Amino acid sequence: MVGITSYGAYIPVYRLSREILNQVWGGGGKGEKAVANFDEDSLTMGVEGARDCLKGTEKESIDALYFASTTPPFKEKQSASIIAAALDLREDIIAADITDSLRCGTIALRMALDAVKAGSARKVLVVVSDCRIPPPNSAFEPLFGDGAAAFLVGGNGAAVEIEGSHYITSEFIDIWRLEYDKITRTWEDRFIRDEGYTPYLQKAVATLLKAHNLTAKDFATAAFNALDERTHRDMARRLGLDAKTQVQDPLFGKVGHTGAASTPMILIAALEEAKPGDRILLASYGDGADAHILRVTDDIEKIRDKRGIKKNLDSKLMLDNYGKYVKFRNLMEFEPSLEIAPRTSLPEIWRDRNWVYKFHGHRCKKCGKIQFPMQKACMYCQADEKDLEEIGLSDKKGTLSTFSMDERSPVIDPPNVLAAVTLEGGGRFFSQMTDRDVNNLKVGIPMELTFRRIHDALGVHNYFWKCRPARE
Amino acid sequence: MRPEAIRDKVAIIGMGCTKFGENWDKSADDMIIEASFEALEDGGVELKDIEAGWVGTVTTGGTGSLLSGPLKLPYLPVTRVENGCGTAMEALRNASFAVACGLYDLVLVVGVEKLKDTGLGGLPEFMFHPVYGQGFTAPGRWALGATRYFQNYEIKPEEGKRLLAKIAVKNHHNGTLSPKAHFQREITLEQALAAPIVAWPLGLLDCCPVTDGAAAAVICPIDIAKRFRDDYVLVKGFGVAMGPGLGKEDIDYVYDRLPETQAAAKQAYEMAGIEEPRKEISLASLHDCFTIAELMEYEAVGFSPLGGAKQDIEAGTFTLEGELPVNTDGGLKSFGHPIGATGLRMCYEAYKQFQGKADRRQLKDPKISFCMAQYGHPGFLGPVVTILGRRD
């Protein structure tokens, strides 16, 4: 039966305590929210979620990649194609950005299931990610968080089967961004709650359960999103779920509302706890609503090696002030830099695409040594380029050979930590370090690689890899 | 290589050097004119007798007209060279070849850099690729060496910073004895240790300043040098070792030593006929863009054994009164680092020391000088070495 064969999630390492927002703007928010680092966006977080999902699985049979986000970093230019390159997927796949709706994740999931059912794809990778910018000093600011989720959909070995779904599409306008808006806009919350969220989600669930002759009691848990904590509690009650045993935590307290990624991430948290045979109610709201009956199979036990939600939650760094958050999301007009602006060259990046995006290195067939980046001749034995074979190195772990912390470098979050990372099996990555605690660095610590936005030189997002201290 | 092709074939008969510093009121042209005419007057040479020129700069100009323009040279062969921080010595080296082969009698060599017109507090980041190696500023890159050097020799960061501070204190002291140096200020060990961090573990006083300046030399074949002066200075040898820059990606390289610097020094020793550098060399100018660079260079050029820099620093080996004074004029740290002029500034110090004109920092009876300037960082270096000797 067609279903979800693997899942993965990503929560950025930085968290902002709502206490800090209370100090700046007043209010009594509790808990914390996940904040993408300055070099992250929905695309890079999507890559992270997808890498978690694909860990230990073969990638050859992935025939399509759908990237679902309301915040794709390009308005024109596909993000899915860049994600596919960073994941080193085959070239002959179909890739699509499915965007604009907070429900684009569950819509993409359905499209993936349909493609596999129809036989037009063996496996489809669905990547859902959002990095929405809330207006400062708004109800959204403490609420919004950043994160990503990914699902591999296939016909064999499904860990989660979808027994039924119901979709409702509505023109209802509640939360939006115009083509020139940076921050999310909204209408009066009572209107959205009473005429949007509550009736649509309830209707989707009720219609689905009725068609399948099920009641709330038939579910081990329910994973659904909401406008906020309060509407989530209210919906659980309306659906007749037991708040203590049947409702999956919507992650608002520790991560925040992650937009399109919200429902998928809540689902992954549910799957981490799920036992074979469990039935899960999944429901999502935005431009209407959808509801799904999920059945967990025995194969769930084969995909327990994920960072998922739990491990990502456990590995964190606290943002120590609001100023850093403002800089990360570029929420103020800052002093123009006298530094020479970075430049880029699209032909240069294109020539180097196999190591810039895919992080391929070379293995010398003559001396056997691995090297990064790809070389024109072996750096160890000078063997000709034809004796060098390309190998993917992005999954390699490494150790920190040396590092420095540059306080004067024109980066958004100084110090700029420079690093030389020796990769397991060979190759050394001369790299910028990200997601680091500057008080806890020393030669020899374990490192891993992460795909990041390096800069926006010449008005284009320029992506490449960085290193970071291993997150688990 | 045939060392005799260059050793003792070329003489420096005149030298000039501007005041190094934040020369807000001087353009590159002003500094070129000042340094060139000081060198010409020092050598008793008239500009009209100059037959060719070499001019070195990294960022200040593009072609030989950088020299022919301000000096109004009448259609002479002038070549601009650039080889990173060793640029000025590279100009001297190539000019020396032209003189040694007998082509020209009088050649003017100038190095210049005008850095303070850019609005930058530091050097611009030299970028080589749109996304790879981003943010690797000079202090950040040298600090990679410091971190690993300390680790390898089991020197605690605080202890390591103390060693580096001693180098900064020494070079600041020497700078107070050099009227043309950028800084004329003593610093204490405590000040150096308390300075704000620039690129951990390097603090502000571990870094050389951003400086404007120019330096110049007039050279001629040895056989006519006596026409101009008795105390001319001899070119003994050069060494240049452009690394492929792979150390940073080579897992066999561990950032604790400078193989390119070692190779350049070896070439120069061979050309100059030096077998025991520590004994034979009277004074040295090393490339102390950062204090850690000077420390690692002690070992790379053979003044200290590998891992032995610490002992020598503590023993005061490289102070003005020590066994082998290094950076007697204050070095890059105190004299300043106008990139394309630095190499000739180092030669200027040797030249003045040999002639007994080094004021309060004058050494007793110096005979052989070692000068080394290099671009890059541990794992990616381009050193240029010049060995000069007193005429005996």
Instruction: Say yes or no: A302 and A214 in one domain.
Output: yes
Residue of A nearest to B246 (CA): A379
What integer pLDDT is reported at residue B119 of this predicted model? 80
The answer to whether position B92 is within a domain reads: yes
CB A403 within 8 A of CB A418: yes
What total of structural domains would you count in chain B? 2
**How far apart are the CA of B150 and the nearest CA of chain A, in angstroms?**
10
Nearest to B353 by CA among B284, B288, B307: B284
Q: How confident is the model at residue B247 (pLDDT cuts 50, 70, 90)?
A: confident
Report the 10 Å Cβ neighbour count for B271.
22
The answer to whether position A413 is within a domain reads: yes
What integer pLDDT is reported at residue A1 of this predicted model? 85
The per-residue b/e assignment along A416-431, b for 16 or more CB within 10 angstroms, e otherwise, is: bbbbbbbbeebbbbbb
Instruction: Say yes or no: A283 and A352 in one domain.
Output: no
Query: Which CATH number belongs to the domain containing residue A448 in this structure?
Result: 2.40.50
CA dihedral A422, A427, A431, A437 (to 10 degrees): -30
Query: Which CATH number belongs to the domain containing residue B14 in this structure?
Result: 3.40.47.10
The answer to whether position A118 is within a domain reads: yes
The answer to whether position A309 is within a domain reads: yes
In this structure, what token pair is assigned to residue B14? 């005149």
What integer pLDDT is reported at residue A13 of this predicted model? 98
B157: preceding bond cis by omega (within 30 degrees): no
3-state secondary structure chain A: CCEEEEEEEECCCEEEEHHHHHHHHCCCCCCEEEECCCCCCHHHHHHHHHHHHHCCCCCCCEEEEEEEECCCCCCCCCCHHHHHHHCCCCCCCEEEEEECCCCHHHHHHHHHHHHHHHCCCCEEEEEEEECCECCCCCCHHHHECCEEEEEEEECCCCCEEEEEEEEEECCCCCEECCCCCCECEECCHHHHHHHHHHHHHHHHHHHHHHHCCCCHHHCCEEEECCCCHHHHHHHHHHCCCCCCCCECCCCCCCCCECHHHHHHHHHHHHHHHCCCCCEEEEEEECCEEEEEEEEECHHHHHHCCCCCCHHHHHCCEECCCHHHHHHHCCCCCCCCCCCCCCCCCHHHHHHCHHHHCCCEEEEECCCCCEECCCCCECCCCCCEHHHEEEEECCCCCEEEEEEEEECCCCCCCCCEEEEEEEECCCCEEEEEECCCCHHHCCCCCEEEEEEEEEECHHHCCEEEEEEEECCC
What integer pLDDT is reported at residue B322 of this predicted model? 98
Instruction: Say yes or no: A56 and A8 in one domain.
Output: yes
Instruction: Say yes or no: A213 and A260 in one domain.
Output: yes
What integer pLDDT is reported at residue B7 of this predicted model? 97
Tens digits of residue pLDDT in B169-179: 999 999 999 99
Residue of A nearest to B201 (CA): A404
Residue A18 identity (one-letter amino acid): R
Residue of B197, B201, B248 lying closest to A430 (CB–CB): B248
Average pLDDT, chain A: 96
Mutation site, A408, A423, A438, A464, interface B, largest B CB count within 10 A: A408
Number of residue pairs across A and B with CB atoms under 8 Å? 141
Instruction: Say yes or no: B203 and B352 in one domain.
Output: yes
Tens digits of residue pLDDT in A28-40: 999 999 999 999 9
Active-site option among B337, B347, B371, B377? B337
Question: What percent of chain A stands above pLDDT 70?
Answer: 100
pTM given for the model: 0.94
> Has B85 been annotated as catalytic?
yes
> Has B182 been annotated as catalytic?
no
Instruction: Say yes or no: A298 and A407 in one domain.
Output: no
**How far apart are the CA of B332 and the nearest CA of chain A, in angstroms?**
20
What total of structural domains would you count in chain A? 2
What integer pLDDT is reported at residue A410 of this predicted model? 82
Instruction: Say yes or no: B282 and B356 in one domain.
Output: yes
Residue of A349, A420, A455 lying closest to B144 (CB–CB): A420
**How far apart are the CA of B116 and the nearest CA of chain A, in angstroms?**
12
Question: Is the per-residue pLDDT at B124 higher than 80?
Answer: no
Question: Is the per-residue pLDDT at B125 higher than 90?
Answer: no
Instruction: Say yes or no: B105 and B143 in one domain.
Output: no
Instruction: Say yes or no: B149 and B8 in one domain.
Output: no
The answer to whether position A261 is within a domain reads: yes
Q: Is this prediction's ipTM beyond 0.95?
A: no
In this structure, what token pair is assigned to residue A291? 């509801």
What does the alpha-carbon distance between residue B295 and residue B315 come to, in Å, rounded to a whole number? 14
Could you read off the pLDDT tens digit of each residue along chain A, which spans 472 residues? Answer: 899 999 999 999 999 999 999 999 999 999 999 999 999 999 999 999 999 999 989 999 999 999 999 999 999 999 999 999 999 999 999 999 999 999 999 999 999 999 999 999 999 999 999 999 999 999 999 999 999 999 999 998 899 999 999 999 999 999 999 999 999 999 999 999 999 999 999 999 999 999 999 999 999 999 999 999 999 999 999 999 999 999 999 999 999 999 999 999 999 999 999 999 999 999 999 999 999 999 999 999 999 999 999 999 999 999 999 999 999 999 999 988 887 788 899 999 999 999 999 999 999 999 999 999 999 999 999 999 999 999 999 999 999 999 999 998 888 999 999 999 999 999 999 999 999 999 999 999 999 999 999 999 999 999 999 999 999 7
Residue of A404, A408, A428 lying closest to B147 (CB–CB): A404
Q: Which domain holds residue A442?
A: 346-359+394-469
Instruction: Say yes or no: A223 and A283 in one domain.
Output: yes
Q: Say if the Cβ atoms of B130 and A411 lie within 8 Å.
A: no
Instruction: Say yes or no: A286 and A353 in one domain.
Output: no
What does the alpha-carbon distance between residue A95 and residue B123 come to, in Å, rounded to a whole number? 43
Q: φ and ψ at A15, to 5 degrees? A: -125, 145
Residue of B146, B196, B249 lying closest to A371 (CB–CB): B249
Instruction: Say yes or no: B66 and B89 in one domain.
Output: yes
Residue of A nearest to B251 (CA): A428
Q: Which domain holds residue B113?
A: 3-120+214-225
